Amino acid sequence: MSDKPVYVTQPYLPPLEEFIPYLQQIWDNKMLTNGGPMHQQLEQALCDYLGVEHVALFNNGTIALLTALQALRVTGEVITTPYSFVATAHSLLWNGIKPIFVDIDPYTLNLDPAKIEAAITPQTTAIMPVHCYGHSCDVEAIQRIADNYNLRVIYDAAHAFGVKDAGGSILRHGDLSVLSFHATKVFNTFEGGAIICPDAKTKQRINHLKNFGIVDEVTVVAAGINGKMSEINAAFGLLQLQHIDLAMGRRREIDRIYREQLQHVKGIRLLQDSGEAVSNYSYFPILVEADYPLSRDELYQKLKENNIFARRYFYPLISDFSMYRGMSSARRNNLPVANDVAAKVLCLPIYPALNNDEVSRIIDGVKEH
């Protein structure tokens, strides 16, 4: 059995020879950016695949988050989760907005709707939940709260490419949803991202904001940013999209094997599967409970010593970093569930190129102690 290094995730790379014709087209038409033909094709292809009406492509998901907040003119305070990648809260600080951290649900690890109302103040203007690990938030409960208090909802959907609920794409919820196409995501464009827009007018404003606010050669309407996706990134996205169902199918199979083999291991708790919802199997987190023979960090180190590079994802919490921990909402007694989960979580490797022997080696590493 191979003992080569395995990581928590790796990008899916289609055969290089399939990418060459795309590069040739870019070279031939000599258009490298600024909404060229590859960019336009990918926006339409993503609309078709995801079942949404308007997609605005970006050079990365963080710039997309920054721009989404600008597009909706969000100010004041925004309620969000401490259990996410730092870009979620950083996008708020960069816009001069104060993040207000609210605890998470112990089973979904998403923002707990039952905790949101108590955090609303006269300065609250929006909610920014995260579909953590690609598992859908309680979108209906969050929307009811937003409607009652006249708040915007911007979903950080970085993990949620291709995720669906009974009504269709999970990306249709809220005022805007933001995707990441970073190299480690289920669908990637090397680097990239997108905003799912509800209508053409909103998409037009977002397109202006991501291109310095430029409308034409002599007209600038906003203090925009450079968030444009290049033609090469868009071309890779078009190629990736041809293989995405195969890639997600392999992720689903690995998820199934993990669940079958680990569900009865004492001290290891698995998150619930997605049930009738369509998942993208972007991560496979386990929670290392007190009755497991090793601590979470001891298991992490043991796996690492055997070339299995799992990840304590998300640890530390965003609220533990220096730029946030002085905020009253970041206090540990305000976030008991998030702190408990962050001390227990370990994401096991899951990606299409992971073979069954490697999956068995990872499972053995968890079972044998």
Q: What is the pLDDT along the chain (369 residues), one digit of tens a residue?
A: 458 899 999 888 889 999 999 999 999 999 999 999 999 999 999 999 999 999 999 999 999 999 999 999 999 999 999 999 999 999 999 999 999 999 999 999 999 999 999 999 999 999 999 999 999 999 999 999 999 999 999 999 999 999 999 999 999 999 999 999 999 999 999 999 999 999 999 999 999 999 999 999 999 999 999 999 999 999 999 999 999 999 999 999 999 999 999 999 999 999 987 665 789 999 999 999 999 999 999 999 999 999 999 999 999 999 999 999 999 999 999 999 999 999 999 999 999 999 999 999 999 999 987
Q: Which of 300, 324, 326, 303 is nearest to 312 (CA)?
A: 300
Domains, the chain, in order of start with CATH, read 16-239 (3.40.640.10), 244-367 (3.90.1150.10)
Q: What is the structure's pLDDT at 353?
A: 95
Contacts 24+ apart (CB under 8 A), 265-268: 265/292, 265/366, 265/367, 266/291, 266/292, 267/291, 267/292, 267/293, 268/292, 268/366
- Per the CB < 8 A criterion, the answer to whether 366 and 264 are in contact is no
CA–CA gap between residue 242 and residue 21 (Å, rounded): 14
The phi and psi torsions of 346 (rounded to 5 degrees) equal -145, 120
Q: What is the structure's pLDDT at 278?
A: 84
Q: What angle in degrees, to the nearest 10, is found between the helix axes of 231-262 and 356-367?
A: 50
Give pLDDT tens digits for 245-304.
999 999 999 999 999 999 999 999 999 876 657 899 999 999 999 999 999 999 999 999
- Per the CB < 8 A criterion, the answer to whether 152 and 124 are in contact is no
3-state helix, strand, coil in the chain (%, to 5): 40, 20, 40
* Angle CA 252–257–263, to nearest 5: 115
Unique residue bearing structure tokens 């993503």 = 46
Q: Which of 215, 261, 257, 270 is nearest to 350 (CA)?
A: 257
Contacts 24+ apart (CB under 8 A), 200-205: 200/54, 202/54, 202/71, 202/176, 203/54, 203/56, 205/71
Strands 152-156, 164-165: pairing kind: unpaired
Q: What is the structure's pLDDT at 180?
A: 98
Unique residue bearing structure tokens 């290089």 = 16
Give pLDDT tens digits for 149-178.
999 999 999 999 999 999 999 999 999 999
Of how many residues is the chain composed?
A: 369
Q: What is the structure's pLDDT at 3?
A: 81
Q: What is the structure's pLDDT at 1?
A: 43
Q: What is the CA radius of gyration of the chain?
A: 21
CA–CA gap between residue 259 and residue 281 (Å, rounded): 12
